[in-house]
Structure 1
Amino acid sequence: KPNPAQTAKERLQILLAHERAGGTSPDFLPLLQRDILEVVRRHMEIDGEQVEVKLERGEELSSLEINIELPGATKLKKRA
Structure 2
Amino acid sequence: MKRLRDFFQRDQDASANVARERLKLMISQDRMQRNQPDFLPRLQKELIEVIRRYTHSASDDIQVSCHALPHRSQIEVNVSWPKNTS
Q: TM-score, normalised by structure 2?
A: 0.47
Change (3 A) 1:24 1:33: closer
Which position in structure 2 is the counterpart of 1:36?
Answer: 47
User: What do the CA deviations read for 1:4-25 (whole angstroms, capped 9, x no partner)?
Assistant: xxxxxxxxxxxxxxxxxx7934
* Greater share of helix: 2
Partner amino acid for 2:80? E
The offset of 1:38, in angstroms, is: 1.8
Greater RCO, 1 or 2 (C-alpha within 8 Å, sep 6+):
1
Among 58, 81, 85, the residue aligned to 1:70: 81
Which position in structure 2 is the counterpart of 1:57?
Answer: 68
Decide whether the 8 Å contact of 2:52 with 2:58 is kept in 1. Answer: no
- Cα distance in 1, alignment partners of residues 78 and 64 from structure 2: 6
Which position in structure 2 is the counterpart of 1:24?
Answer: 37
Q: TM-score, normalised by structure 1?
A: 0.50
Percentage of pairs with the same residue:
27
- Cα distance in 2, alignment partners of residues 35 and 66 from structure 1: 12
- Cα distance in 1, alignment partners of residues 41 and 36 from structure 2: 17
**Runs of 5+ in structure 2 lacking a partner?**
1-34
Q: Secondary structure at the match of 2:81?
A: coil
**Runs of 5+ in structure 1 lacking a partner?**
1-21
Which position in structure 2 is the counterpart of 1:47?
Answer: 58
Alpha carbon RMSD of aligned pairs, Å? 2.3
